[in-house]
Structure 1
Amino acid sequence: MKLVDVIQPKSIKIPLQSSTKESIIRELIQVLEKQNLFNDPEDVFKAVMERERIMTTGVGREVAIPHCKKQECNQFAIALGIHPGGIDFNSIDNKPVKIFFLLLGPEENPGMHIRLLSRISRLIAKDSLRQGLLNASGPQEAYELLKAEEEKYFEIVS
């Protein structure tokens, strides 16, 4: 499964308005809630925050990948948000986070959940993609950048 099979321009928010870890996660959940992917946004929020309590998903390089698996999620979904100024997300490198990927998925498919996390991590390691996302004028441009980078990267690896 490709990221572009899961993420869509309507699940990308540029810029994010929130200023705290909790409010950023809520804002990203709201983006996905509009797509009717789950019934209870508060339950999803609690699950994501519980995962954050175990270990931060601020992976460094101004990126965080909050995520959770929920029974009520009948399919995988990714919201991408950009916060140009960055916020404190308890990132492993102690730097503010500007790029957020929220991944939600069904509990019964943990292997795909891990593959999607891995795919995000490999792609976002590229400085050019991170810079492109930070400079994107809107959701469509961010989606096209992600799509092009994913096609280029996995064509080389395959």
Structure 2
Amino acid sequence: MTFIMDMVKNGGVLVGIEATEKEPAIDETLTAFCNRGKYSKIQRTKLKNAIMEREGTGSTGIGNGGAIPHCRIGKQDEVQLYISVAKNDIEFQSIDGKPVKILFLIVLPKENSSLHSEALKAIASLMKNERFFRYLKEATSEEIILETIEDYEAEIA
């Protein structure tokens, strides 16, 4: 297993979110993954507040249909990556002005800044690979996303 896949194993994948705006898309993603038992409703609220606070400093919609909303919380020691693919475009105030189709929502340990930069760098690198990123944005199932990530990481290894 490699870094992106490790982060996904700690988090999860969701295909077909309904939201078409930034905050509802983040909210829908968080709700789905908190329902998997990782976080309580109180923790979910803290996560959302932390992510929206980060979004307030500048959009994490980094272009080409992707966004990396993220936050640093608590004393956890693992990075969790939640990948959400939207049914329709999401208005995200991206730096290129284009809508977002896929969210890479990252929950990071508060005290580990090296993991923070490593996680963002890994996702940004994946997004720069046009072929694999296109496959992810067009994915219709969790299995397709996981296979695409495995193939990508095997190719760059």
Instruction: State the TM-score, normalized to the length of structure 1.
Output: 0.89
Any idea what SS the aligned residue of 2:126 has? Answer: helix
| Offset, 1:38 | 3.4
Any idea what SS the aligned residue of 1:104 has? Answer: strand
CA-to-aligned-CA distance 1:30-87 (integer Å, 9 cap, x gap)? 2331344334101110000000000110000011000000116453211101114211
| Offset, 1:92 | 0.2
Q: Select which of 99, 111, 135 maps to 1:132.
A: 135
Give unpaired runs (5+ residues) of structure 2: none
Instruction: Tell me which amino acid in the other structure corresponds to 1:109.
Output: N
Any idea what SS the aligned residue of 1:15 has? Answer: strand
Structure-to-structure mapping, 1:141-156, within 5 angstroms: 141-153=144-156, 155=157
Number of residue pairs matched by the alignment: 154
Any idea what SS the aligned residue of 1:44 has? Answer: helix
Contact 2:10–2:78 (CA under 8 A) maintained in structure 1: no
> Are 1:116 and 2:140 an aligned pair?
no
Give unpaired runs (5+ residues) of structure 1: none
Match of 1:92 in 2: 95
RMSD (Å) for aligned C-alpha atoms: 1.8
Percent identity of the aligned residues? 27
- The 3 A distance-change label for structure 1 pair 106 and 9 is closer
Instruction: Tell me which amino acid in the other structure corresponds to 2:38.
Output: L
Any idea what SS the aligned residue of 1:103 has? Answer: strand
Any idea what SS the aligned residue of 2:17 has? Answer: coil
2: CA distance, partners of 1:88 / 1:98: 9
| Offset, 1:127 | 1.1
Instruction: State the TM-score, normalized to the length of structure 2.
Output: 0.90
- The 3 A distance-change label for structure 1 pair 73 and 150 is same
Instruction: Tell me which amino acid in the other structure corresponds to 2:107.
Output: L
